[in-house]
Amino acid sequence: MKVLYLSTIIVLISLATVSAQNDSGTVSILAVGDVMTGGSMSPWVNDSGPDYPFSLTRSIIQQADIAICNLEAPYGTKGKAFNKKFTFLVPPRQAAGIKSAGFDVVALANNHMMDYGPEPLKATLVLLDSLGIARSGAGMNLAEARKPAIVERNGIKVAFLSYSRVFPVQFWATARKAGTAPAYESHIKEDIKRSQEIADIVVVSFHWGAELMDTTKLYQRTLAHFCIDNGADLVLGHHPHILQGLELYKGKLIAYSLGNFAFGSRSKKCTESVILKTEFDSTGLKRIELIPLCVDNNKVFFKPTPLSGPEGLAVLENLARLSRDLGFDFVPGDSMAVVEF
């Protein structure tokens, strides 16, 4: 393993440009954390349009062959709110921002997708399909929720599976009820096997862990290892709203939590995030890029902002510390960290 680091945003841009000129037989998969463009973000998006939150990161996202985010709220205009502390419902017109930002696929298995019941979920599925955005992790029944999203680039097919491991369990789909895909090991094993039959790379996404907790729970590691033991090539996590560490297990990458991305909250505890970009070829994972972000909305006003200098270095040093505890070591730069295999 060769570990490199880059120290200027100028080099970051130039390398990203080179990376975009992808050779056939390789595919780059970019992932970010939680996206929810309602809540405290609503006035800004209403004034400036659905592209507003992605204006500083769009060029990075679009350079990847495939980009994925966790969509943390349904799109809709009506429904009955579930009885819990936070419920989200985002106007359908805002979905255009996800598309124009460059996201190709969204994970829907989370603790907000059913906040207003099955009607907004159905509207979300129809809207995403109309925009050409692939989706996984939720559906009008369990079979649909478990179905992988398939995206093909450069002759390589990538399957995306998404599962929820958080409450409320009332949001989990059944054979006769709409909802999110629950993270039952028997289902996951079957879904990965089926995905391997139709795709070259399998990516599994989880909503798991504890909010605002930067260390992993034992079940997260157990479940991530289970996925890789059964054929997954990459495991992505979200829900804590802050960063958790990275782990390499059997040569496969696990990102336990990518934190918030474009999220309509002013929490002073959710201030750091990263863009994760991975590159695969026929032999497996070849390269990892980590781009530090400021997501403190009291400073960046709901526009995730790439960092450089001491601020960027601090974010990547924090992630390196968390990852070191999981046995993965990398050298942070002040605007990017790169690991090549």
- Structure token digits, residue 294: 């400021």
Whether 58 shows a pLDDT value over 80: the answer reads: yes
The bridge status of strand 149-153 relative to strand 246-249 is unpaired
2-340: which CATH architecture?
A: 4-Layer Sandwich (3.60)
> Could you tell me which residues are beta bridge partners of residue 238?
207
**Mind spelling out the 3-state secondary structure of 91-151?**
CHHHHHHHHHHCCCEEECCCCCCCCCCHHHHHHHHHHHHHHCCEEECEECCHHHHHCCEEE
Q: Tell me which residue has tokens 């099955």.
A: 118
Q: CB of 106 within 8 A of CB of 69?
A: yes
Whether 219 shows a pLDDT value over 70: the answer reads: yes
Minimal CA–CA distance to 214: which of 256, 186, 173, 251? 256
pTM of this prediction? 0.92
What's the gap between Cα 159 and its chain centre? 14
pLDDT of residue 276: 98
Residues in CB range of 85: below 8 A, 6 or more apart: none
Whether 33 shows a pLDDT value over 50: the answer reads: yes
Greater confidence (5 vs 227) lies with 227
Helix (H) or strand (E) holding 9: helix 9-20
Whether 19 shows a pLDDT value over 60: the answer reads: no
One DSSP character per residue, 240-297 reads SSSB--EEEETTEEEES-B-EEEES---TT--EEEEEEEEEETTEEEEEEEEEEE--H
Give the Cα-Cα-Cα angle 170, 175, 181 (nearest 5 degrees): 55
- The pLDDT tens digits of the residues spanning 68-117 come to 999 999 999 999 999 999 999 999 999 999 999 999 999 999 999 999 99
What's phi and psi for 35, nearest 5 deg?
A: -120, 120
pLDDT of residue 24: 58
Minimal CA–CA distance to 88: which of 70, 67, 101, 68? 70
Mean pLDDT of the residues in the chain:
93
**Mind spelling out the 3-state secondary structure of 176-194?**
CECEECECCHHHHHHHHHH
What's 174's DSSP letter? B
Q: CB of 158 within 8 A of CB of 199?
A: yes
- The pLDDT tens digits of the residues spanning 142-190 come to 999 999 999 999 999 999 999 999 999 999 999 999 999 999 999 999 9
Q: Tell me which residue has tokens 């996984």.
A: 136
26-48 average pLDDT score? 97
Whether 260 shows a pLDDT value over 70: the answer reads: yes
> What ranges do the domains of the chain cover?
2-340
